[in-house]
Amino acid sequence: MLFDRENELEELNLVLGESGARFLTVSGRRRLVKITLLVEWPKSTGLPAVYWVASRVSTAKQRPLRSYLEHNHKVNDVEESSH
């Protein structure tokens, strides 16, 4: 449940009115319910959504996870395919 987030929800809902796919970036200070907003908003729309949370993990530490995902989930490497 979100409290006092009507403005944010309104802005997100405006994006739904536009045609085509959208990529949104949500940033802000810690502990301001950004992830909760991104989880609860799609539930209220009934539409599918994906969200990703960035971390400050070094590239070397990301390689094992990336390898696992590519092997087990057939994830395409967008960076390499776009070059």
Cα-only R_g, the chain: 16
Tokens of 34: 């950004």
pLDDT at 61: 66
pLDDT at 57: 65
- d(CA 63, CA 57) in angstroms, rounded, equals 10
- d(CA 46, CA 9) in angstroms, rounded, equals 14
19-40 pLDDT, tens digit per residue, is 888 888 888 888 888 888 888 8
The DSSP code for 56 is -
- d(CA 46, CA 54) in angstroms, rounded, equals 25
The model's pTM: 0.55
Residue 83 vs residue 49, higher pLDDT: 49
pLDDT at 62: 64
CB 12 within 8 A of CB 41: yes
